[in-house]
């Protein structure tokens, strides 16, 4: 049975290897959800993507890639109030956007279970910060479940729906990127019968009309429910005291870091210290903590980020009269992801127990090797239209790496694939913070710095997320900004989810609604608006130059579909249609005899399919287009100022009948292509 089938049809006793995100989605399915939504965000995207992919075969399941996290959580609340269990997923910073609904949810409560699955990102490999969303619960009062492994990711999600209903809270399920993206063994349980998932909204003004004195009453009610939940968690299966044997030293941990702690203690050969494993990290039950404190003189809290558990436990220890030492962030860094090595080092220092010799040597060797590893920079995919867009912007701004010329405009960055433009060789961003900060901050800079022009960048998905009010604000206040919307038709960076202007789905079908972005921008009052293909470099670059000369808000839409999605669709359709195989193969080649190595293609455009090469017995390198990597976008052909790049077409039938002469020095190209 394939994994996707098992995901839908697996029953109690089945097992499979799944991602943490898939385990969360499966737990929600086992709990009988009827609603699942998210604004895509790494590392959480697959939670809803796997449900969306399979929704046609899952009875009564509604899935949605919402415009943003605020809308998404509101949608989940609507489903819950209609009596339908709802899962809403987002990445850590998404909760900032959804914080308004998150703050009223405990006041109003839920009807059917609601779980908010948050992918946190310690180390920020795919985020602009390391924000630990657990701190939100100190004021939203949303309880937090923290699974430690793949099995718990499913089981806790499933149980969280029951707890949500029993105590009328939306439950936060926290999963760091290491859990979201790791794969492991999962034992399935049975799915609920889905035929009865039908919405029925029942009026409940006492809870749902949350204002004035009613809000105050709701406040008191949720504080009471919070205490009831705390009592429930005293005896629950989620929190456990392990190794109750007499011991003066204790550890408290949760989530994936708990698994690291157990590994670290094993490596140090320590099996007798008391451990409190918290499956729910908010609220923490008093009696259980009191019981854990018994006989202990020293405690260390092992957790990632800035010490959310330490903050709560130190306060509770004071109230409970615990007199021993409590440590935490003095042994474990508050910044960056805690690896098993970091946990091991911290535990070894806390216990004053040296690392086993072999491990100490291994860690040192590992660090040595890491220092020697060549740095690898991120870059755009080969053929990505964003590469052409950045090339055009930089040319219009007078920038040249090769000639050492600085650009003369401020470029405001934003969140998406195009963020990679901040890396060399483009270095094309002066600031980058959060969703739609580019135009938001850029428009204010344009008010005060009249000497420089401002270009603000945004992707289509990010624009729909929260860019519309920012653009409206710029129009209303007549800001002097050039706003470039890089419209590749997908939320590409998070795994290619649809955006409102996705024009053609991956299977060739038309989405039921596709927004005309140009018309939308026009309707916001923008009068200067052009839409064009960024791969037409000369046209696009000269359009940027003219736009920069105009006053006010100017919008250019760089409209070209993500090259990966286009290729996937072509592949899928050619597999399922009876189209005749292509008889012509085209490719781009650099003619050695004409190339002067001006570096426009290799350094300025920086397409990775262009590589320096040395022929046998030759001293000098020449530039070569690797036919296996090149996707034939033709952009290098346009940027070469010396007409050294040309398009060659091969008639594949008969094989060696070429339509155009091929330079002798490219004979090996034919060999590589086997034509």
- Among 270, 631, 652, 663, the residue binding ligand SF4 under the rule CB under 6 A is 631
**Closest distance of CB 632 from ligand SF4, Å:** 5
Tell me the site size for ligand SF4, rule CB under 6 A: 28
d(CA 486, CA 525): 20
Interface with ligand SF4 in residues 324-383 (CB under 6 A): 382-383
Measured from the CB atom, is 317 or 631 closer to ligand SF4?
Answer: 631
Beta-carbon neighbour count of residue 151 at 10 Å? Answer: 16
**Closest distance of CB 517 from ligand SF4, Å:** 25
Measured from the CB atom, is 231 or 593 closer to ligand SF4?
Answer: 593
d(CA 573, CA 271): 58
**Closest distance of CB 402 from ligand SF4, Å:** 9
Residues shown for the chain: 675
- Among 485, 636, 648, 675, the residue binding ligand SF4 under the rule CB under 6 A is 636
Stretch that binds ligand SF4, among 96-104, 312-320, 488-496, 599-607 (CB under 6 A): 599-607
Measured from the CB atom, is 244 or 612 closer to ligand SF4?
Answer: 612
Q: What is the DSSP string of 472-493?
A: HHHHHTT--EEEEEEE-SEETT
Measured from the CB atom, is 341 or 665 closer to ligand SF4?
Answer: 665
Q: What are phi and psi of 306, to 5 degrees?
A: -90, 20
**Closest distance of CB 488 from ligand SF4, Å:** 16
Residues 6+ apart with CB under 8 A from 578: none
Measured from the CB atom, is 455 or 537 closer to ligand SF4?
Answer: 537
The answer to the question of residue 607 lying near ligand SF4 (CB under 6 A) is: yes
Q: Smallest Cα–Cα separation from 257: which of 313, 200, 334, 196? A: 334
CA geometry: angle 249, 250, 255, nearest 5 deg: 155
- Among 270, 444, 506, 598, the residue binding ligand SF4 under the rule CB under 6 A is 598
Measured from the CB atom, is 107 or 623 closer to ligand SF4?
Answer: 623
The answer to the question of residue 613 lying near ligand SF4 (CB under 6 A) is: no
Measured from the CB atom, is 188 or 602 closer to ligand SF4?
Answer: 602
Measured from the CB atom, is 302 or 388 closer to ligand SF4?
Answer: 388
Segments in 512-555 forming alpha helices (H): 517-523, 537-549
- Among 282, 332, 380, 602, the residue binding ligand SF4 under the rule CB under 6 A is 602
The answer to the question of residue 296 lying near ligand SF4 (CB under 6 A) is: no
The answer to the question of residue 562 lying near ligand SF4 (CB under 6 A) is: no
Q: Smallest Cα–Cα separation from 214: which of 294, 85, 109, 114? A: 109
Do 525 and 68 meet the contact criterion of CB atoms below 8 Å apart?
Answer: no
Stretch that binds ligand SF4, among 241-249, 265-273, 432-440, 590-598 (CB under 6 A): 590-598
The answer to the question of residue 632 lying near ligand SF4 (CB under 6 A) is: yes
Write down the residue that tokens 């420089």 correspond to.
452
Measured from the CB atom, is 142 or 610 closer to ligand SF4?
Answer: 610
Stretch that binds ligand SF4, among 3-11, 66-74, 97-105, 607-615 (CB under 6 A): 607-615
How buried is 163 (Cβ within 10 angstroms: 0-12 exposed, 13-18 middle, 19+ buried)? buried
d(CA 33, CA 79): 10
d(CA 11, CA 119): 27
Interface with ligand SF4 in residues 379-398 (CB under 6 A): 382-383
**Quick one: which H or E segment has residue 565?**
helix 563-576
The side-by-side arrangement of strands in the sheet containing 144-145 is 62-65, 35-38, 86-91, 114-120, 171-176, 144-145, 280-282
Do 7 and 154 meet the contact criterion of CB atoms below 8 Å apart?
Answer: no
Interface with ligand SF4 in residues 637-656 (CB under 6 A): 640, 642, 644-645
Both tokens of residue 429? Answer: 């961003």
**Closest distance of CB 401 from ligand SF4, Å:** 13
Stretch that binds ligand SF4, among 34-42, 300-308, 577-585, 636-644 (CB under 6 A): 636-644
d(CA 582, CA 569): 16
d(CA 622, CA 612): 5
Residues 6+ apart with CB under 8 A from 238: 145, 156, 159, 278, 279, 280
Q: For the chain, how are helix, strand and coil distributed in percent, rounded to 5?
A: 40, 20, 40
**Closest distance of CB 666 from ligand SF4, Å:** 13
Q: Is 165 helix (H, G, I), strand (E, B) or coil?
A: helix
The answer to the question of residue 459 lying near ligand SF4 (CB under 6 A) is: no
Measured from the CB atom, is 145 or 601 closer to ligand SF4?
Answer: 601
How buried is 168 (Cβ within 10 angstroms: 0-12 exposed, 13-18 middle, 19+ buried)? buried
**Closest distance of CB 21 from ligand SF4, Å:** 32
Both tokens of residue 406? Answer: 């600085």
Measured from the CB atom, is 40 or 634 closer to ligand SF4?
Answer: 634
The answer to the question of residue 595 lying near ligand SF4 (CB under 6 A) is: yes
Measured from the CB atom, is 511 or 608 closer to ligand SF4?
Answer: 608
N- to C-terminal Cα separation, the chain? 41
- Among 601, 606, 648, 662, the residue binding ligand SF4 under the rule CB under 6 A is 601
CA 226 to chain centre: 31
d(CA 640, CA 127): 36
Measured from the CB atom, is 464 or 623 closer to ligand SF4?
Answer: 623
Do 521 and 474 meet the contact criterion of CB atoms below 8 Å apart?
Answer: no
d(CA 178, CA 149): 10
**Closest distance of CB 105 from ligand SF4, Å:** 48
Segments in 294-426 forming alpha helices (H): 308-320, 340-351, 357-372, 385-396
Measured from the CB atom, is 194 or 646 closer to ligand SF4?
Answer: 646
The answer to the question of residue 597 lying near ligand SF4 (CB under 6 A) is: yes
**Closest distance of CB 396 from ligand SF4, Å:** 18
- Among 18, 264, 600, 606, the residue binding ligand SF4 under the rule CB under 6 A is 600
The answer to the question of residue 630 lying near ligand SF4 (CB under 6 A) is: yes
**Closest distance of CB 582 from ligand SF4, Å:** 17
- Among 265, 492, 590, 662, the residue binding ligand SF4 under the rule CB under 6 A is 590
**Closest distance of CB 239 from ligand SF4, Å:** 55
Footprint of ligand SF4 (CB under 6 A): 382-383, 588, 590, 595-602, 607, 609-610, 623, 625, 630-636, 640, 642, 644-645
């Amino acid at each position: 049975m394939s994994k996707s089938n098992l995901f839908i049809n697996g029953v109690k006793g089945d097992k499979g290897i799944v991602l943490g995100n898939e385990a969360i989605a499966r737990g929600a399915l086992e709990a009988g959800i009827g609603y699942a939504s998210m604004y895509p965000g790494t590392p959480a995207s697959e939670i809803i993507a796997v449900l969306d992919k399979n929704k046609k075969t899952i009875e009564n399941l509604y899935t949605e890639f919402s415009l943003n996290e605020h809308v998404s959580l509101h949608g989940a609340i609507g489903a819950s109030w209609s009596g339908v269990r709802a899962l809403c997923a987002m990445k850590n910073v998404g909760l900032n956007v959804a914080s308004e609904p998150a703050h009223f949810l405990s006041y109003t409560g839920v009807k059917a279970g609601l779980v908010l699955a948050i992918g946190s990102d310690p180390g920020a490999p795919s985020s602009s910060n390391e924000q630990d969303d657990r701190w939100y619960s100190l004021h939203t009062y949303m309880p937090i479940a923290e699974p430690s492994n793949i099995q718990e990711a499913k089981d806790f999600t499933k149980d969280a729906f029951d707890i949500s209903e029993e105590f009328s809270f939306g439950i936060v399920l926290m999963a760091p990127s290491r859990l979201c993206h790791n794969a492991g063994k999962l034992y399935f349980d049975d799915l609920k019968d889905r035929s009865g998932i039908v919405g029925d909204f029942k009026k409940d003004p006492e809870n749902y009309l949350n204002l004035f004195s009613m809000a105050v009453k709701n406040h008191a009610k949720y504080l009471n429910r919070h205490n009831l939940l705390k009592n429930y968690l005293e005896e629950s299966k989620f929190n456990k005291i392990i190794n109750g044997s007499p011991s003066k030293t204790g550890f408290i941990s949760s989530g994936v870091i708990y698994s690291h702690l157990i590994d670290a203690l094993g490596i140090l050969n320590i099996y007798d210290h008391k451990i409190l494993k918290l499956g729910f990290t908010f609220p923490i039950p008093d009696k259980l903590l009191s019981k854990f404190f018994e006989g202990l003189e020293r405690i260390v809290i092992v957790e990632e980020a800035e010490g959310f558990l330490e903050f709560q436990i130190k306060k509770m220890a004071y109230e409970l009269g615990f007199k021993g030492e409590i440590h935490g962030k003095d042994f474990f860094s508050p910044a960056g992801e805690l690896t098993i090595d970091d946990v091991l080092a911290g535990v070894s220092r806390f216990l004053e127990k040296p690392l086993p010799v072999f491990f100490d040597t291994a860690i040192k060797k590992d660090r040595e090797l890491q220092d020697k590893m060549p740095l690898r920079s991120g870059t755009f995919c080969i053929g990505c239209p964003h590469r052409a867009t950045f090339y055009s912007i930089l040319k219009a701004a007078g920038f040249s790496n090769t000639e050492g010329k600085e650009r003369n405009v401020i470029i405001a960055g934003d969140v998406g694939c195009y963020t990679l433009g901040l890396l060399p060789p483009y270095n094309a961003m002066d600031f980058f913070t959060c969703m739609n900060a580019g135009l938001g901050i850029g428009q204010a800079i344009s008010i005060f710095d009249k000497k420089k022009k401002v270009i603000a960048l945004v992707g289509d998905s990010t624009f729909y997320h929260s860019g519309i009010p920012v653009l409206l604000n710029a129009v209303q206040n007549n800001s002097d900004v050039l706003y470039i919307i890089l419209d590749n038709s997908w939320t590409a960076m998070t795994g290619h989810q649809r955006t409102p202007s996705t024009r053609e789905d991956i299977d060739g079908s038309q989405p039921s609604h596709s927004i005309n972005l140009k018309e939308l921008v026009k309707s916001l009052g923008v009068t200067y608006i052009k839409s064009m293909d960024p791969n037409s470099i000369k046209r696009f670059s000269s359009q940027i130059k003219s736009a920069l000369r105009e006053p006010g808000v100017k919008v250019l839409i760089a409209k070209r579909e993500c090259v990966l999605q286009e290729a996937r669709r072509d592949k899928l359709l050619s597999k399922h249609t009876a189209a005749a195989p292509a008889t012509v193969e085209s490719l781009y080649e650099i003619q050695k005899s004409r190339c002067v190595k001006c570096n426009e293609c290799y350094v300025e455009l920086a397409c990775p399919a262009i590589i320096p090469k040395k022929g046998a017995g030759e001293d000098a390198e020449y530039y070569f287009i690797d036919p296996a990597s090149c996707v034939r976008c033709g952009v290098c052909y346009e940027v070469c100022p010396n007409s050294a790049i040309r398009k060659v077409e091969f008639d594949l039938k008969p094989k060696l009948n070429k339509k155009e002469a091929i330079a002798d020095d490219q004979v090996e190209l034919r060999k590589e292509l086997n034509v």
